[in-house]
Amino acid sequence: MPIYLYIDRGTFVHRLHPTVKVFALFVMFWSVYWVDNPIALLIPIGVLMLWVAQLTDSWPNFYRLRWLFAILVFTTTIAWMVFYRRGAVLVNVPIFHVSRLSLVFGVGRGIKLAELLAASVLFLSTTKIEEFTYGLQRMRVPYRVGFAISLSFRLVPLFIDSAVTIVDAQRLRGYDFNQGGPIERVRRYVPVVIPVFMGALRKANNMAMALEARGFGFSHEPTTFIEYQVTPADIAAFAFLIGLGALYFMLYWTGLGGIGPLK
Amino acid sequence: MSDLRLMWRNTRMVVLCAISAALYAAVLVPFKVVPLIPGVTELRPANAIPIVCSFLFGPAAAWGSAIGNMIGDFFGGVSPGDIFGFFANLAYGWIPYKVWELIGRGQSPISRSPLGILKYAIACLAASVLCADLVGWADNVLVIRPFAMLGNVIIFNNMVSALVLSPFILAAVYPRVKKGRMLYADVMPEVKLKPVGIRACGFALLIAGEGGAWIFGNLLSTGYWEPKFLPAWMIVAPYDKPVAIIAGPFLLLAFAGLLMM
């Protein structure tokens, strides 16, 4: 599993202001939230995401997560056929309520979740961690919280590396992580987690001292080397996103984004 | 509540928060052991980390749990429900040590007495149920997934890790952290506990609120109970409105109780 999805390409989307990218993620959530109809979910927002994926060359990330997308749509459709018991039954299947309405609703929910996943993949494919935290700070998230998020993102690969090394070392000693039932398999991870944990704690003290030596906490709004300028492209993208969000709200408001008369 | 705010003034707590978050995410992302509902959730050893960190780092672990889950979500798909997931995981990392401060009465969380184990299980269950309630409630209200699907799986998932993994990790790590004076009480001695009576009331409200939300969330989302006092147009699948109206106040009650602790 890749921990960093960022793909350095320097496209128009990559160059957008971090705040616009965070806002774009919000607009994707907003737009997808209001509609249930699979067609309204696919056009225009689904097509737009495919275009952005092509433009930003994010396909390798989508390919890596292809099974997650497939499973997400499938299981969501099945789950809602159990819980969304509306409409005339088409086929009698125990537990499931197979009707046109439950099928359309379930598929719509599946597409919705897949699009939310796609939005996050696109965001991570085009946004560096420092851009993400910069975007959060511009949205008035306190500096220390933004710093903790940024530091966490940075530490994750370090800890994964040490966990993988420990797993390999244990395997070399003949330790089998896949032995036993589900509970036993979880329990077998204890010898991995403890060394990772202790290694992390050893870093904590030094890290806190290093931060304070560099003046961490002296100012609530520290200066930064990275400055992002707002360009006409950012303003155009911002206006477009507002329009997209408004369009999807109108689809909901007029009922065009619904799934039928029972909605 | 003040501990969650005050910890941001302490550099060491900020670092411990980042470390808790990174540890959670680092174990969350690659170690997906057994899928429980494919594409939705899996048996996750990572869920042991917030519990362990909570007993060690207190409020730093609470924020760490929330941030770590957010990082994990970025690799499994984020959704509007993840905003609630953030707060649900905040509670998951916050409750164990708050409950332990009340019912542990100075006892070490690695105590192996039957009463100590029972208290530990209560602390973990209280955290798991509120986490599950909030995520299940939000996903049902946002019509992403039904409460009955997520609400129960999360409790099971969290409790398996909390009972099977966390005690072993805690037993190995707690004495060392204590010796190194890195426990939250050592790093943040300025945080004062509220009177026992207020905290006990808060705990009672927490249990009543999360228990009520779980029961009504399950009954409503599966359609087993159709509240007659609500208009008929509300009582239809996916039951988002009944879940919002009836389970919502119980969640507020639980959070009010948590704030009193």
Q: Give chain A positions within 8 Å (CB) of B26.
A: 155-160, 163, 196
Q: What is the mean pLDDT of residues A148-152?
A: 88
Nearest to B153 by CA among B244, B218, B232: B218
Encoded amino acid at A231, one letter: T
Q: What is the mean pLDDT of residues A129-146?
A: 82
CA dihedral A28, A245, A10, A117 (to 10 degrees): 10
Of residues A190 and B77, the one with the higher pLDDT is: A190
Positive or negative, the CA dihedral A68, A80, A246, B71 is: negative
Of residues B194 and A225, the one with the higher pLDDT is: B194
Nearest to B156 by CA among A183, A68, A190: A183
Give the count of beta carbons closer than 10 Å to the beta carbon of residue A186: 24
Task: Determine the pLDDT at residue B176.
Answer: 87
Can you name the residues that pair with A99 across neighbouring β-strands?
A89
B148 near A CB under 8 A: yes
> Angle, nearest 10°, between helix axes A129-138 and A143-172?
150
Q: What is the mean pLDDT of residues A63-75?
A: 84
A1 near B CB under 8 A: yes
- pTM, 2 dp: 0.84
Question: Does the beta-carbon distance from B39 to A198 stay under 8 Å?
Answer: no
Q: Is B65 exposed, middle or buried (0-12, 13-18, 19+ CB in 10 A)?
A: buried
Pair B195, B232: CB distance under 8 Å: no
Q: Is B239 exposed, middle or buried (0-12, 13-18, 19+ CB in 10 A)?
A: buried
A259 near B CB under 8 A: no
- B111: pLDDT confidence band, cut at 50, 70 and 90? confident
Q: What is the mean pLDDT of residues A15-23?
A: 89
Rg (CA), chain B: 18
Question: Does the beta-carbon distance from A155 to B19 stay under 8 Å?
Answer: yes
pLDDT at B40 > cutoff 80: no
Distance CA B210, CA B256 (A): 11
Q: Give chain A positions within 8 Å (CB) of B238.
A: 80, 83-84, 105
Shortest alpha-carbon distance between residue B174 and chain A (Å): 10
Distance CA A123, CA A141 (A): 19
Question: Does the beta-carbon distance from A84 to B38 stay under 8 Å?
Answer: no
Q: What is the mean pLDDT of residues B13-30?
A: 87
Task: Determine the pLDDT at residue B98.
Answer: 92
What's CA A91's distance to the chain center, in Å? 36
Of residues B132 and B165, the one with the higher pLDDT is: B132
- B31: pLDDT confidence band, cut at 50, 70 and 90? low
Mean pLDDT of chain B: 86
Residues in A 93-112 with any Cβ partner in B closer than 8 A = 105, 109, 112
Option in B12, B22, B78 nearest A152 (CB): B22
Task: Determine the pLDDT at residue B126.
Answer: 94
Q: Give chain B positions within 8 Å (CB) of A208.
A: 11-12, 14-15
Give chain A's end-to-end CA distance (angstroms, integer). Answer: 39
pLDDT at A232 > cutoff 60: yes
pLDDT at A222 > cutoff 50: yes
Count of CB pairs separated by less than 8 Å, A with B? 209
pLDDT at A69 > cutoff 80: yes
Residues in A 104-163 with any Cβ partner in B closer than 8 A = 105, 109, 112-113, 116-117, 119-121, 124, 142, 144-145, 147-149, 151-160, 163
Task: Determine the pLDDT at residue A62.
Answer: 87
Helices (H), A127-257: 129-138, 143-172, 182-187, 190-213, 232-254
Question: Does the beta-carbon distance from B27 to A148 stay under 8 Å?
Answer: no
Shortest alpha-carbon distance between residue B254 and chain A (Å): 25
Mean pLDDT of chain A: 84
Shortest alpha-carbon distance between residue B204 and chain A (Å): 31
pLDDT tens for B189-216 read: 887 888 999 999 999 999 999 999 999 9
Task: Determine the pLDDT at residue B89.
Answer: 93
Task: Determine the pLDDT at residue A263.
Answer: 43
Shortest alpha-carbon distance between residue B107 and chain A (Å): 23
Task: Determine the pLDDT at residue A82.
Answer: 84
pLDDT tens for B51-91 read: 999 999 999 999 999 999 888 877 666 666 778 889 999 99
Task: Determine the pLDDT at residue B32.
Answer: 57
Q: Give chain A positions within 8 Å (CB) of B29.
A: 1, 3, 156, 160
